[in-house]
Amino acid sequence: MDDVQKKTLLLVEDDPDLLEVLQLTFETDGFRPVLASDGEQALSKARRHAPDLIVLDLMLPKLDGLEVCRQLRADDAFAQVPILMLTAKSDESDVVLGLGLGADDYVCKPARPRELVARVRGLLRRRESRSQISSERKILVGDMVIDPERFEVRVGDGEPIQLTPTEFKLLQTLAARPGRVFRRAELLDGTVGTSVIVTERNIDTHVKSVRRKLAERGSQIETVRGVGYRFSDRFPE
């Protein structure tokens, strides 16, 4: 458990029984949990405790989880802090919206404690691996620049495009080898990791979010039906 020792987690959940279960689960695994039961508490405690990762329920009093996520991602101090959404909603649109606002992953209730621990461990490892990513070279595709050292994507002279760590790694993986078809399983291994229990549909959701953020350049991420995705070096006209 050396990889998670002394890591601070902000657990945001309005069900006191579930919050207690989460607290005990993560304490047992060597984390330091900080608890919040509504959206306003979540923002206040995030700023006070500077957590390494946030587990965020969507259905919260005062401010819902989507608004909390939006405000955190708008704050430079939390731009790269992993956010794992915990939701009882079955509507895919809420998941897509949450990922689009900057969440890195999601788990639907009822969540198994061990699955949550696995997801959190995976997200933390990805965050720490960005120090290795920073030594990689820039990727240039036309006027698009993917800069691992600055963790930044720009198109032409435009403003930086805000991507989550998962979205950045996904785009970096695809754009590094234009024209090469990546199977969904490969993208899962490369962006999420083999130790995390996720479905291939999760990659589809992240691809949708990256395409939306890239605007017209999003069409360069092409779907290969029944296989996966590739990045085209042909620019939209």
Q: Say whether both 165 and 81 belong to one domain.
A: no
Mean pLDDT of the 77-97 span: 79
The count of domains in the chain is 2
What pLDDT score does 211 carry?
A: 94
Grouping H, G, I as helix, E, B as strand and the rest as coil, residue 224 is strand
The torsion angles phi and psi of 61, rounded to 5 degrees, stand at: -75, 160
Say if 200 falls within a structural domain: yes
Does residue 3 carry a pLDDT above 50? no
pLDDT digits (tens, 9 = 90+) for 125-147: 877 765 454 446 788 888 889 98
Predicted TM-score (pTM) above 0.85: no
Q: Do 167 and 184 share a domain, yes or no?
A: yes
Looking at residue 196, what is its pLDDT? 43
C-alpha to C-alpha distance for 191 and 186, rounded to whole angstroms: 9
Residues 210 and 152 in one domain: yes
% the chain with pLDDT above 90? 38
pLDDT (mean) for 54-77: 91
| 223, 227, 228, 230: CA torsion to nearest 10 | -70
- Give residue-wise pLDDT tens across range 95-107: 777 787 888 888 8
Do 120 and 163 lie in a common domain? no
Residue 50 counted as domain residue: yes
